Structure 1
Amino acid sequence: MINSYANADDAEVAIAAARAGADVVRGMYGQRLGRIDKGAGDFATDADVEAEKAILGVIRAARPDDAVLGEEGGQQGAAGAARQWLVDPLCGTLNYAVGNMLVAVNVALRNGAAAVADPFSGEVFFTDGESSWVRHAGADARLVPTAATRLVDVNLDPPFPNAPGFRAVDLLAHPGFVERFRPRVVSTTLALAWVAAGKRAAYVTDGGDLSGSVHFAAGVALCRAAGCVVTGIDGGPVGESGRGLVVAADAETHGLLMSAITRPGSGR
């Protein structure tokens, strides 16, 4: 089955790889899993490791000359490879370890196709780099972002590299925010796929350069291709000089969030 993807386009490879990881995550759910300590309260489980192996199996069979940067296995493949895949086999490990199903499997070709799989809904959100879709029950539907829900997911997980200038928790109490939006606190980048799909109006997280992050690359690619507004928390491009991430369904929503982030009372 894996070899059947050797002639597939990059988007189909990303979908197949994300699905392979999602199958492992779903299959191991609820089991007693070993933990690998990463320090500072972070850890991986056996499911993270096995899901990454399954993802790498698809990529290696379909694209043997490509390099891979994996959350668990690090850099693999030829150092001088022209193409690199970014893999986060289980985003939301703590959720998963305590029996919470809010997790994502992220696979992205740097500056190319990407897929985000929800192991428990069966949805796979994907992009070919030009448009974004969701595949569910054998059918594909175009992703259409909208701010209609008014729901904004805010990541409150540490670290907070931009504090005290920016604290995401302060955003939740900002008058301009609470007047317009309804906050949700989430600890998985599945929230980025929800913005692209119109299930959320926006997503906000602190951080440094997230453009090449195994956690965020697939979701950012989805949102950009779907037509969302994607910037750092300073309003600048997401990149080496960027700070954190603000992803909004449209320009108006993005502008409202930036006003709440940068005006007095927001912590900046």
Structure 2
Amino acid sequence: MPIIDGDTDAQLAVAAALAGAAVVRDLYGKRLARHEKSAGDFATTADLAAERAVVDLLRGARPQDAVTGEEGGSTGAADAHRRWLVDPLCGTLNYAVHTMLVGVNVALREGTAITAAATADPFSGEVFWTDGVRARVRRDGTDEELTPSAGSALVDVNLDPPFPSAPGFRAVRLLGEPGFTERFRPRVISSTLAVAWVAAGRRAAYVTDGDLRDSVHFAAGIALCRAAGCTVTGLYGEPVLTGSGGLVAAADAGTHAALLELIRSTG
């Protein structure tokens, strides 16, 4: 949809995420060049093209805002009050081996708060979005409220390195805890699309290690979970996005408390 000055930041986040998703969908299955970034990490032509589509839309609509993209880095003042965080293709390895478990993440940070965010699924056509107050999913032009639920007992755990909290915390040890398998069932989709699924009631929780400050990967999903009413903290209950404490996003307080207890027991 066209973006004009009167559109809200949330509408812009949705449009930008959908623009990136359209590129990802169109290039799926094609022979794509790989651009090596570090050991075991790479981008594809689709990552770069999707980021260009997202960033071009954001800059056209909000030329004064700063932008940080996973592939293109940061533009604008380092201390900008308004900064867009863009992950154009979360799940690049999935995508490169023709697995349709990916997301496009767009979030706006104003000061220390994420005030608008969207995560688009290129293949289902869904886009999960929030204006910082409500959390909804748009399907075929219709919006529905997101409703978290722990009923599935499915917990998505990020097993991708690096593991900055080791040896105190290693996700693989969490999966080996008897208390985990008694209550939960692990899932690993290797895309932060799964964080949006917590807000939508399709996962009971999501757990990851890592420093999430200004994270292009996690900012959108965390905002969705918060707006949906999930319980969201770092690995040990500390405020999320304040350091290298990782993330526990749970559908409800009981699930969150159980996971924190299990995490502490692995240390």
Aligned to 1:50: 49
Q: What TM-score, normalized to structure 2?
A: 0.96
Aligned to 1:217: 219
Length, aligned pairs only: 263
Distance 1:186 1:232 in 2: 20
Deviations 1:135-185 (A, max 9, x none): 001100000101011100011000011111111011111111111111111
Give unpaired runs (5+ residues) of structure 1: none
Deviations 1:112-149 (A, max 9, x none): 10000000000000000011000001100000101011
Aligned to 1:206: 209
Residue identity opposite 2:263 in structure 1: I
**Alignment CA distance shift 1:226-1:36 (3 Å):** same
Distance 2:139 2:16 in 1: 16
Distance 2:193 2:30 in 1: 22
Aligned to 1:255: 257
Deviation at residue 235 of structure 1 after TM alignment: 1.2
**Alignment CA distance shift 1:121-1:41 (3 Å):** same
Matches within 5 A, 1:146-225: 146-208=149-211, 210-225=212-227
Equivalent position SS for 2:256:
helix
Aligned to 2:34: 35
- Which has the higher mean CA deviation after the structures are superposed, 192-201 or 53-62? 53-62
Distance 1:79 1:243 in 2: 23
**Alignment CA distance shift 1:79-1:154 (3 Å):** closer
- Which has the higher mean CA deviation after the structures are superposed, 60-69 or 125-134? 60-69
**Alignment CA distance shift 1:178-1:80 (3 Å):** closer
Distance 1:80 1:232 in 2: 24
Residue identity opposite 1:61 in structure 2: G
Provide the alpha-carbon RMSD of the alignment: 1.2
Structure 1 contact 116–125 (Cα < 8 Å) conserved: yes
Q: Confirm or deny that 1:121 pairs with 2:131.
A: no
Deviation at residue 76 of structure 1 after TM alignment: 1.5
Q: What TM-score, normalized to structure 1?
A: 0.95
Structure 1 contact 236–242 (Cα < 8 Å) conserved: no
Distance 1:141 1:254 in 2: 25
Equivalent position SS for 2:115:
coil
Deviation at residue 56 of structure 1 after TM alignment: 1.0
Deviation at residue 79 of structure 1 after TM alignment: 4.6
Distance 1:198 1:240 in 2: 26
Aligned to 1:23: 22
Residue identity opposite 2:165 in structure 1: N
Aligned to 1:105: 104
Deviation at residue 186 of structure 1 after TM alignment: 2.1
Point out 4+ residue stretches in structure 1 off by more than 2 angstroms.
77-82, 239-242
Structure 2 contact 51–86 (Cα < 8 Å) conserved: yes
Deviation at residue 242 of structure 1 after TM alignment: 4.6
